[in-house]
Structure 1
Amino acid sequence: MAVFDDDPPVRSIIELPGCSPVEGTVRWDPAMSIWNGAMLGIALVGTPLTFSWSAFAVFTVLTGATLLAGHSVGMHRRLIHRSFDCPQWLEFALVYAGVLVGLAGPIGMIRTHDLRDWAQRQPDCHPYLAHRESMLKDAWWQLHCRLTLDQPPGFDAGSAGESLAYRWLERTWRWQQLPLALVLLAIGGWAWVIWGICLRVSICVTGHWFVGHLAHRRGPQSWLVRDAGVQAHDVPWAAIPTMGEAWHNNHHAFPGSARIGIHPGQSDWGYAFILLLARLGLAWNIRTPVGMVARRRKLQPVLP
């Protein structure tokens, strides 16, 4: 059995003297707002005018593939948490699929995820980082704004930040939709572009915020993390569309685990995909809660 740290710190965050996740200012982010707003606007106007069953099929397949292989497995469980090992070429392919989801580039995803992760482990943090505001205000903040902390921690993306490929993806992540859009346009016309790019990106980005908001507000819990100011909840109805990511209480409990749906009956397609890669010899050192003794010491089970 591989030996690994079963309770690692947040990988990319460097705690500097005086750094704090509490005080900060939320400001409108023009680039993010225009990107998310444009995708949503085109989707709202264009999808009713261009519906076809083939366009719907393209939307369904591309959404499922990019969320499963890209966001859940590539970006989250591999690039951010290193919850399994795989060949470098496969990691890049999975991360590229994650870029196509339309949330951010690889380094931006690490920064956004790890800052929130670090902040939520503290006794308190800014409402932006805790999804503590009302749904409408939180939607505006998360989809159109950025938080600037008064005393932020340091950030080091590690090997991802040193990779020329990932630095290129970080600079061009929005433009990566263009090659796919050209292929869809050539095969299925503008209907496929609107459904396969604009609607897909809008649904993925909005859904990512929506499930994240709910997962920090209400829902079932199996664990409480000691000393953490923000606790997580599961969102059972979203388990399949999020490929297992919606078992967020489990994820807070065991953030380094490749398996997020850890209880009987909890669907986790992301973990199933990793097991498929393992059967093909493309994934190994798969980390699960089994044997995570150090991490369990920080948990308090929630009694039924």
Structure 2
Amino acid sequence: MTVRSTARMIALPDSDARRGQVRWAPIRSLWTIGMTGSALVLAPLYMTPGAVALWLMTSAVTLCLGHSIGLHRLLIHRSFTAPLWLERVLVYLGTLVGMAGPLGMVRLHDTRDWAQRQVACHDLHAHRAPLLRDAWWQMHCRLDLTHPPRFEPEARLCDDRFLMWLERNWMAQQLPWALLFFWIGGMPWLVWGVPVRVAIGVTGHWLVGHVTHRRGPQGWTVDDVPVQGHDLPAAALITFGEAWHGNHHAWPDSARLGIEPGQHDPGWWVLIALRRMGLVHDLKEPAMLAPREGLHRVVKQGDALG
């Protein structure tokens, strides 16, 4: 069986994406339980219009500018270029989502991407488990592969002192904002500005990943891989384009995720605005990229008849 490498995941002779042990990750799990539990208990007690507005605004900024644009499209895939100061601002905002530090996010993403490019992979990386088990695995556990690939991040990641500082202190980044929100708006702003935002962001990220790796419409398929990407059109706007996951599997280095007519991609709209302001450059689109090996267009029945 051929074991494929990716840019940062180097396959060793015995690397295997199938065999491994799912183990509880206590720090990650307690963080998630703490944020989710606080949100469930406190949010109804401290709901005010201002607090809900703060949650909506901070969620939009951290999930769109931070996670989708800063961490995913820029730090992980390098689908566009930005000056270092802006890259650091975007990555910082992505860290505030509360899933992991920047290097941790790169490793989690690239390990999953590597596994999904093999002929077969573990159920955790395929989101193949039932809903509640997958939720436990993805948000509270880690998969220790028996024979993993070697993770080799580029120097611009592992030698960046700012990124390493964020990696060591990613949970603590919530504290200054918690204090600021409490000072301005008391407990309602604190509760909705930190634990509610983090809990919904982390849970929503898992849920979209669970669905888009299992079912839904497809525009593309890739040969000889254990997991296909699917789209979730209903979540396109609230995920800032990340729900076009079938497109992302087909064109992973594209800065544009909603590539078909009518596919709304707010993250792309923001990038276009930033390009007009001269702040970002070299935005990659599918027409500029080489197709993945084994990529095929899904021909729908109406298209075939037409």
TM-score under structure 1 normalisation?
Answer: 0.95
What secondary structure sits across from 2:43 in the alignment? helix
Q: Does 1:60 align with 2:56?
A: yes
Considering only aligned residues, what root-mean-square deviation do their CA atoms show, in Å?
1.0
Alignment of 1:5-24 (within 5 A): 10-24=6-20
Q: Does 1:275 align with 2:272?
A: yes
- Mark the runs of 5 or more structure 1 residues left unpaired by the alignment: 1-8
Equivalence for 1:6: none
Alignment of 1:239-250 (within 5 A): 239-250=236-247
TM-score under structure 2 normalisation?
Answer: 0.95
Equivalence for 1:301: 297
Equivalence for 2:150: 154
Quick one: which amino acid aligns to residue 163 of structure 1?
A: D
Quick one: which amino acid aligns to residue 129 of structure 2?
A: E
CA distance in 2, matches of 1:297, 1:134: 30
Shift of 1:297: 5.3
Equivalence for 1:259: 256
Equivalence for 1:89: 85
Residue 155 to residue 296, structure 1, CA distance change in 2 (3 Å)? closer
Q: Does 1:235 align with 2:218?
A: no
Quick one: which amino acid aligns to residue 99 of structure 2?
A: L
Measured against aligned partners, the alpha-carbon deviations of 1:171-193 in whole angstroms (never above 9, x if no partner) come to: 00000000111110110011101
Alignment of 1:106-121 (within 5 A): 106-121=102-117
Quick one: which amino acid aligns to residue 303 of structure 1?
A: V
Quick one: which amino acid aligns to residue 225 of structure 1?
A: V
Quick one: which amino acid aligns to residue 258 of structure 1?
A: A
Equivalence for 2:65: 69
Quick one: which amino acid aligns to residue 239 of structure 1?
A: A
Q: How many residues align structurally?
A: 295
CA distance in 2, matches of 1:133, 1:207: 17
CA distance in 2, matches of 1:80, 1:298: 22
Equivalence for 1:286: 283
Instruction: Please identify runs of 4+ aligned residues in structure 1 that moved more than 2 A.
Output: none
What secondary structure sits across from 1:217 in the alignment? coil
Q: Give yes or no for contact 2:222–2:293 (8 Å, CA) kept in 1.
A: no
Q: Give yes or no for contact 1:233–1:248 (8 Å, CA) kept in 2.
A: yes
Equivalence for 2:97: 101
Quick one: which amino acid aligns to residue 180 of structure 1?
A: W
Equivalence for 1:217: 214
What secondary structure sits across from 1:224 in the alignment? strand
Q: Give yes or no for contact 1:43–1:202 (8 Å, CA) kept in 2.
A: yes
Quick one: which amino acid aligns to residue 237 of structure 2?
A: I
Equivalence for 1:34: 30
Quick one: which amino acid aligns to residue 244 of structure 1?
A: G
Sequence identity percentage: 52
Q: Give yes or no for contact 1:139–1:209 (8 Å, CA) kept in 2.
A: yes
Match of 1:131 among 113, 120, 127: 127
